[in-house]
Structure 1
Amino acid sequence: MLKIHCLPAFTDNYIWLIETPNKQAWVVDPGCGQTVEKYLEDKPLTLVGILITHHHHDHTGGIAHLQQCYQNNLKVYGPSKDNIVGLTHPLTLEDHQSLQFNHDATLPDLPLITVISVPGHTKGHIVYVIDNHLFCGDTLFSGGCGRMFEGTPEQFNTSLQLLAELPDTTKVYCAHEYTLANLKFATTALPHNKDIEEYQHTCTELRHNNRATIPSTIGIEKRINPFLLCHLESTQNALSSHFNEIISDEVQSFTLMRQWKDSF
Structure 2
Amino acid sequence: MNLNSISAFQDNYIWVLNDEQGKCIIVDPGDAEPVLKALETNQWTPEAILLTHHHNDHVGGVKELLKKYPDLVVYGPEETQDKGTNRVVREGDKVNILKYEFSVIATPGHTLGHICFYCAPYLFCGDTLFSGGCGRLFEGTARNMFDSFQKLNKLPAETLICCAHEYTLSNIKFSLSILPNDDELNRYCRKVKELRAKNQSTLPSSLENERKINLFLRTHNVDLKDKIKEETNLQQPHQIFAWLRTKKDTF
State whether TM-score is above 0.5: yes
Tell me the CA shift for residue 240 of structure 1: 2.2
The corresponding residue for 2:40 is 41
Q: 1:99 aligns with which of 56, 79, 93?
A: 93
Is it true that 1:113 corresponds to 2:107 in the alignment? no
Q: How does 1:195-206 map to 2 (within 5 A)?
A: 195-206=184-195
Q: 2:218 aligns with which of 226, 229, 233?
A: 229
SS at match of 1:127: strand
Cα separation, 1, equivalents of 2:80 and 2:147: 19
Tell me the CA shift for residue 248 of structure 1: 3.3
Deviations 1:183-209 (A, max 9, x none): 100111122321010001001111111
The corresponding residue for 2:248 is 261
Cα separation, 2, equivalents of 1:119 and 1:238: 28
Tell me the CA shift for residue 23 of structure 1: 1.4
Is it true that 1:192 corresponds to 2:181 in the alignment? yes
The corresponding residue for 1:17 is 16
Is it true that 1:208 corresponds to 2:197 in the alignment? yes
AA partner of residue 22 (structure 1): Q
Using the aligned pairs only, state the percent identity.
Answer: 40
Q: How does 1:1-264 map to 2 (within 5 A)?
A: 2-70=1-69, 72-93=70-91, 98-102=92-96, 107-109=97-99, 111-241=100-230, 244-264=231-251
Q: Is the 8 A contact 2:90 2:104 kept in 1?
A: no
Q: TM-score, normalised by structure 2?
A: 0.96
Tell me the CA shift for residue 83 of structure 1: 4.3
Tell me the CA shift for residue 235 of structure 1: 1.2
Q: Is the 8 A contact 1:239 1:257 kept in 2?
A: no
Tell me the CA shift for residue 22 of structure 1: 2.4
Gap regions ≥5 residues in structure 2: none
SS at match of 2:157: coil
Gap regions ≥5 residues in structure 1: none
Deviations 1:125-164 (A, max 9, x none): 0001112011100000000010011111211101011111
SS at match of 2:93: strand
Number of equivalences: 251
